[in-house]
Amino acid sequence: MTTLTDNAPGAPRPRGGVAQSINDSLVVTKRNLIRMSRIPEMVVFGLIQPVMFVVLFSYVFGGSMSVGGNTDPAVYREFLMAGIFAQTVTFATAGAGAGIADDMHKGLVDRFRSLPMARGAVLTGRTLADLVQTALTLVVLAIVGLLVGWRIHNGVPKALGAFALLLLLGYAFSWIGALIGLSVRTPEAATSGGLIWLFPVTFVSNAFVDPSMMADWIRPIAEWNPFSATVQACRELFGNPGVVQSDAWPMRYPVWASILWSVLIVVVFRTLSVRKYRSATV
């Protein structure tokens, strides 16, 4: 049995125009949000994990961590939250990859490709739906952070800017998840593939410890890590302790570095994902 693809002679031609592409993407976004609302455990489990990280790192490791020579657990909790926020938005990558792999496995993607819709709408809709779920998770996580002693010190506008950078990073990483989801055969493989590389990215960074405490050969890796740039930017914008003093450009201009890294990741991995989507078969 054959399936229709974008290049098949009998496949409906996608309608052109930016407006139509946006409309198609929003329709797919709505479909995925409705699906999430009908499976509330997906959202609940996505909220539990970051809350556990906050509690564990705050109260289990907090007393043994030093931030700029200060071992006060309250200081470490404020230092920690920017890293937890960034880790949470990037770990959503695994969910994005698993969702797309599940759609591929069930043949839903082939059905979408047989419709006269923008080629990238299916993937854009999925990543936008994941972005909405990530925003909800950040709201809950911020409330938990406030309960354990985290505070913002530079005003609400800068704090909102920090959350915007976090969402941009999460959206960028969701495109990596999309590519992984299109490249594997099962949702389970997508989940595993989406997490394996995230652990070194998040832990070889400034999220949980000051890079100055790392070995000399690994410190530059941590400082040029796109993840570290967003964490550094959030600490600056929140006014939290632990802003790294370094000559590395991403650490000196973290806001710009965070934006540039995220935009670059979106451009590269969206291009690769859409190309893979055109040719992917189950």
At residue 158, does pLDDT exceed 70?
yes
What pLDDT shows up at residue 8? 44
Rounded to the nearest integer, the mean pLDDT of the chain is 83
Q: Looking at per-residue confidence, does 7 or 176 come out higher?
A: 176
- Report the alpha-carbon distance of residue 269 to residue 122 in Å, rounded: 15
Please give the distance of CA 70 from its chain centroid, rounded to a whole number: 31
Which pLDDT tens digit goes with each residue over 28-49? Answer: 888 878 877 777 777 777 778 7
What pLDDT shows up at residue 39? 74
Which pLDDT tens digit goes with each residue over 207-245? Answer: 988 888 888 899 999 999 999 999 999 999 999 988 888
Q: How confident is the model at residue 97 (pLDDT cuts 50, 70, 90)?
A: confident
Average pLDDT on 243-260 reads 93
What pLDDT shows up at residue 183? 87
Beta bridge partners of 67: 70
At residue 91, does pLDDT exceed 90?
no
What pLDDT shows up at residue 1? 40
pTM confidence score: 0.86
Question: Considering only CA atoms, which of 185, 179, 85 is closest in space to residue 123?
Answer: 179
Asked if residues 151 and 48 have their Cβ atoms less than 8 Å apart, the reply is no
Cα-Cα-Cα-Cα torsion 216, 220, 221, 227, nearest 10 degrees, comes to 130
The full 3-state SS of 65-79, as one line of letters, equals CCECCECCHHHHHHH
Average pLDDT on 161-169 reads 96
What pLDDT shows up at residue 220? 93
Residue 206 phi/psi, 5-degree rounding, is: -95, 15
- Enter the tokens of residue 4: 């229709």
Average pLDDT on 242-271 reads 94
- Token pair 């939290």 in the structure block, residue: 240
